[in-house]
Each structure stands twice: as C-alpha cells, then as structure tokens.
Amino acid sequence: MPTVKITIDDRELECDDSLNVIEAAALIGEQIPHYCWHPDMAVVGNCRMCQVEVDSGRGFAPAIGCATKVADGMKVYTKSEKALNMRKEVLEFLFLNHPLDCPICDKAGECLLQDYYQEHGRYQSRLDDEIGKIAKSAKAVRLSDLIVFDDERCVLCDRCVRFCRDVEGKEELYIGGRGSPSKVMTFPGKELTGEYQLCLTDICPVGALTSEEFRFQQRVWFLDKTPSVCGLGDSGDNILIEHRDGKVYRIMPRRHDGISGVWVKDVSRLAYKEWEADRHRLSSPTHSNGSTNGADPLVHVADALKLLPQKNTLLVVDNRLTLEEAWALKSLFNRAGCTAVAQAESRLATGRGPNGYGLDLLGFPMLDKGTITSAERVLAVGDFNEADLKAMAGRDLYLFSAHCAGIPASAKVALPLAEHMERQGTMVNSQKRLQRIHRAFEAPLPNYTGIDIACNLARLLDVELEFSDQESCFTDLAGAVLERPGMRWKELGKLGLLLEGDENPKALSELSGHKRLTWSG
Ligand code: SF4
Ligand code: SF4
Ligand code: FES
C-alpha cells in the first residue's frame, strides 16, 4: 500500500495514503474531536467538530479532518489557536439548545459532548439567563421496544441515519425539518425493526439514543468491564460484559475486525436477560433421596463412577462449556476407564453454540438417541434441551446444571454449575478462531465449573490428571489436540488465534481488540 510523509503538529509521520487526517493523527496519539465521522461509515462532514489547519502546498487553511485525505508533504496543525477557536464556536452552537441533563443522562461519563466541552468549551455562556434556551424539544420518544430517543440531546451528526441505511440496509431513520427545528425521526407510524438496534446507542456520540433496557439503571463509571465472547451463538462476537456486584447491566461490542467488527446483534447483547429470566439457579445440590446428607455431593458422583462397567457410562457436555472444562472432564473419564463422550445443544444457546466447534476438535461427537440408549449411567454437564433431558432421564443421571428448569425428578444427583459469565477459558467459533473468555464475577456458591468437577472427582477416585487448574489444562490440551505444545493463554492475545487458514493482518484494523466504543477512532 502506498505511503506518504506528512507533518502533524510539527511531528513527522509516514502513513498509509488511504487514511484521513483524524486516522493519521490517531497514529501518533492525537485525538481530533469528531462527532459525525465513524471509522465504519461513510464520511459526510456535517458536524465541523474536526476542523484543523492544513497546508497542502498553498498555505494554511481550515479543513475538516474527516474528509481530508493525507497527501505527501501535507502539514497539519490540530491545536493551533484558529483550530481551537473553530471548535469552540461549533460547540457553542451545539450547546445552544442542549439540556442540562448530565446528572440523569445515560451517556454521562462516556459522552463526547461532555469530553470535548472540557477540552474546547467557551465556559462563559453568552445566553441571557432570563431568556434561557431558545427551543425545547421532545424527550423520551419511543422509536421501538429497544430504543428511546431524546431529541434535546441530539447533535444531528447523522450517524444513526447512515447506520440504518448503510449498515443495516433499512431506511428507517431520517432527519426531517430544516434549520433549527431539524430532528431525527422514523417515518410516520413506523418503528425501528433492525436486528442491530442497540448499536445505535453505541454510535450516537451523545445521550440522544438510549437503550430501554439500560436507561437509568446504572452510572457507567460504576460498571466493571470484562472482555469476553458472546455465549449465545457460534459467531464468537467479541463483547464487553459490563457488570456490578454480580449483576450484568449491559453487553457492549468489543471491536474485532476479523469477526464482526463492532456490530453485535441485539439478540446476543440481550441474551443475558433471557438467562436471567431463566435464572432459577440451581443453588444447592439435590439428591434423589431428598438430601446429600451434608456430605460432599461429589462423593455420590464418584461412588457412581466407581461402580462401573465403565463402557456403559456416558459423559455428555453442552456446547457452552469451555475447551478446558470439556477436556478436563474427558481426561478424567478416560483415566477412569470410560470412553463414551458426546456433546449436545445447550438450551441457552443457538445453533452450534459458542463452543460446539471446539468440542468437535476435542473429539466430542453429537449426542444421538442410540448413544444414550446404550449407556446405563450418564454424567451430564450443562443446560440441555428438553428432548435430551428426557432421553437421559431414563438412565442413571448425574447432572450438573446452572439452571433448575427441566431437571428430571429421576436424576440421581443434580449439582449447581457456573454460568457463561462466571467461567474462564477458551472457545472456538465457526471460523475456527480460538478465543478467550474471562470470568466477570464469581458464581453464587456452591457451584462448580467443569474443571472443579474433574479435579475434585479425580481426587475422590484417586486418579492423577496432568493439570490442576484451567490454565495448565489449556496448555495440556494445546499440546495434545491443537498441535501447539507449551502454549499459554496469554499467547492468544486480544484477537485470538485462527486454527485453520491464515490470518489476514490487513483485515484487522489498528482498532481491533479495542475496549472502548466504536466512536473512539
Ligand atoms: S448528551 Fe452528554 S452533555 Fe448532553 S446531557 Fe447527556 S451526558 Fe450531558
Ligand atoms: S440521534 Fe445521535 S446519532 Fe442520531 S443524529 Fe442525533 S446525535 Fe447523531
Ligand atoms: S465534520 Fe468531521 S467529524 Fe464531523
């Protein structure tokens, strides 16, 4: 790719000639303020917030950074007096009718209007206090079940309109009216219908487009953010779990240009609500005779595994288990002399689930009726669908499950299992990319992860395993199955590892693995 030499704020820089001035400045750590520009959408240049001074050979002149491509010999000043004054004036217009909503605005803490005002604001208002604001606009307008619009906060950057039109392919939003009364709206009588509506709340640089789910629930600065991978489908979309005190408040996209960029479907981002609705968590061990008599409940499972014939014992895991959990259970099973293993669809996932492809690599075939029928005893770890549970209920069933729903009354033992956000480890998506998930918070006690189950049963059965925790288990399976002996978690980095085919580094932008939101360019 051709490169050019430019100077930004007297610093020389060599960069790709396809970049605009905002992107080039970002390479040397300079953030040029911007509202309408977004790295994944067309340039419109309507907010004028990114003004800089540019000399392309004919002397310095004002220019907007988003629509100005770098060229050889170009000189740019991002912080000259003129540039700062231009931004100050743009901000003064934007604040003319803006409400003093920050204390109750969901965007507070991550709002570009707040941030840029601190950097570029006029600070002394020229509005007459007696007159106050010039115009009031609509608040809390419902655009769909998911999105609520606050017109007063809108800076008319047009990102939402372009997103619907260019990314979703649905012309559902437009800016109607002229001049000061211009406003974002849906067509009369219509609502938003897209599958990526929550992305509108990410790309809106202010608090105008808000999520019905998240509205007024939590201040963003109180939220802990844990990088993870979607636990619903097999795409492996990168997410940030935003949580506080063991409760998830929202799921945000985390940029990965080798997968879905920053666009994550609403269904994935709201899956945690479904899991919560289904959240009658299995919180204490149950035994078919009514209690576990205060003993370590795993003893019942270990006793059952001792009473083999091993060939008649089957291990079934659901496709939301991590590679480490499934590998640990399979290793234990094999050491105990059992060989029959299978994977089944999780009731809480779609398609192959977040790790069905990973379980293929570990040698877990899909569960079928014949496999269950030929087993006398089943050790099942996961949240299974009704049909599979029904089939397994006909055998001696030892079940580990996160949720109570559907647990057969005939189960010999039912023990609590950790949920997706309470686990750590690795998973493989449909493109065969190995990625890490991180534990957002501890599961309510008592609970088990697959590793806990395997290691504790190994102790009770006097079986020796090659590993004692998740990370050493990963290294063990990386050598045994992935042909990468000695590999550690940290080698996966933020982008994971493509197990089949070659990574195209050019397809991964500088922003990949970025924790912050899409507009942070
Ligand atoms: S959009 Fe930003 S500046 Fe406006 S009220 Fe919300 S947080 Fe404050
Ligand atoms: S609603 Fe948000 S994204 Fe849409 S034009 Fe207004 S400020 Fe921009
Ligand atoms: S005009 Fe450049 S970001 Fe809006």
Q: For ligand 2, say whether the CB of 113 is within 6 Å of any of its atoms.
A: no
Q: How far is the CA of 157 from the centre of ligand 3 (A)?
A: 8
Which pLDDT value is given to residue 515?
A: 40
Tokens of 450: 């697959």
Q: What residues does CATH 3.40.50.740 cover in the chain?
A: 286-500
Q: How far is the CA of 118 from the centre of ligand 1 (A)?
A: 12
Which pLDDT value is given to residue 502?
A: 78
Tokens of 189: 């009588």
| Dist CA 443 CA 121 (whole Å) | 45
Which pLDDT value is given to residue 519?
A: 39
Which bound ligand lies closest to the C-alpha atom of 23?
3
Which pLDDT value is given to residue 444?
A: 76
* Sheet (strand 75-77) strand order: 11-16, 3-8, 75-77, 51-55, 60-64
Q: Candidates 49, 96, 98, 150: which one to mutate for ligand 1, based on the most atoms within 8 Å of Cβ? A: 98
CATH of 286-500, one of 3.40.50.10210, 3.40.50.620, 3.40.50.740, 3.40.50.720: 3.40.50.740
Q: How far is the CA of 157 from the centre of ligand 2 (A)?
A: 5
Taking 70 as the pLDDT cut, the residues of the chain under it are 128-135, 277-279, 287-295, 307-311, 445, 505-521
Which pLDDT value is given to residue 379?
A: 92
Report the atom number in ligand 3 closest to the C-alpha of 33.
Answer: 3
CA nearest ligand 2 atom 8, residue? 157
Which bound ligand lies closest to the C-alpha atom of 182?
2
Place of tokens 């950097």: 119
Which bound ligand lies closest to the C-alpha atom of 111?
1
Complete DSSP assignment for 107-162: TTTS-HHHHHHHHH---S--S-TTT--S-----SEESSSSEEE-GGG-----HHHH
Q: What residues does CATH 3.10.20.740 cover in the chain?
A: 3-95
**198 to each of 11, 173, 181, 354, 431, how far by Cα in Å?**
39, 14, 26, 21, 25
Which pLDDT value is given to residue 113?
A: 93
Q: Which fold has domain 126-217?
A: Alpha-Beta Plaits (3.30.70)
Report the atom number in ligand 3 closest to the C-alpha of 51.
Answer: 2
Q: For ligand 1, say whether the CB of 162 is within 6 Å of any of its atoms.
A: no
**501 to each of 60, 429, 431, 493, 510, how far by Cα in Å?**
48, 14, 9, 18, 21
DSSP lists the bridge partners of residue 75 as: 7, 55
Q: For ligand 1, say whether the CB of 207 is within 6 Å of any of its atoms.
A: yes
What is the CATH code for 3-95? 3.10.20.740
Question: 3-class DSSP state for residue 70?
Answer: coil
Which pLDDT value is given to residue 235?
A: 95
Report the atom number in ligand 2 closest to the C-alpha of 153.
Answer: 7
